[in-house]
Amino acid sequence: MSDGKWRVTASRIVHQDRWIHLRADDCVTDEGAVIAPYYVLDYRDWVELVALDADNNVLLIKQYRHALGDISTELPAGGMDAGETDPVEAARRELLEEAGCAGTLTLLGETRPNAGTHTNRIHIILARDVVKVAEPLDDPQERIETVWVPAAEALRMALAGEITVGMQAASLLRGLAAAGVARVEVV
């Protein structure tokens, strides 16, 4: 029995800049079907933080997202910088830059934003006992408003679609379950 993996017969970069790396692969399936081109987005890994204060309030951020054309309510998150290999340290940097906050951080696991076309991973970080320690980084590309909501309200927002970034809703659910502030029953 085959492993089902495709064989790449050719690969070329279609576009590459500081934001995106798009390549086109020519592939052959294990059954001999040619799939060409197959486009792949090579992104850096990302971190997403489920940040809780001592009272289990969740830190959310609001910021303009150009592709959406509107303000989005999200978890603190961001790409790992070139050379960063430790997702917890990248998350520590993002939490400080975006919200001016710090806490005790733990790596919960990872997911994939889109396994069909993206190469990167999303590292889910739980931050406990989060407090403000500084002013957020002044970045004109990120005008961020921070909002603290009770864990139950954050869960309601995710389930109601008010947190519209799907991978962040999934990270929030995993983080709240790991923190013991939301219970998920499997039936």
Q: What is the CATH number of domain 46-179?
A: 3.90.79.10
Task: Determine the Cα–Cα distance for residues 100 and 28; give it in Å rounded to an integer.
Answer: 49
Give one DSSP letter per residue of 111-157, joined into a string: E-S-TTTB---EEEEEEEEEEE-SPPP-BTTB--EEEEEEHHHHHHH
Residue stretches of the chain with pLDDT short of 70:
1, 184-187
- Structure tokens, 124: 């889910």
Q: What is the pTM of this model?
A: 0.91
Q: How far apart are CA 135 and CA 78, in angstroms?
A: 18
Report pLDDT digits (tens) over 102-128. Answer: 999 999 999 999 999 999 999 999 999
The angle at the Cα of 68, spanning 65 to 69, to the nearest 5 degrees, equals 80
According to DSSP H, which parts of the chain are helical? 87-99, 151-159, 166-179
Greatest pairwise CA separation for the chain in angstroms = 58
Please report, for the chain, the start and end positions of each structural domain, with discontinuous segments joined by +: 7-41, 46-179
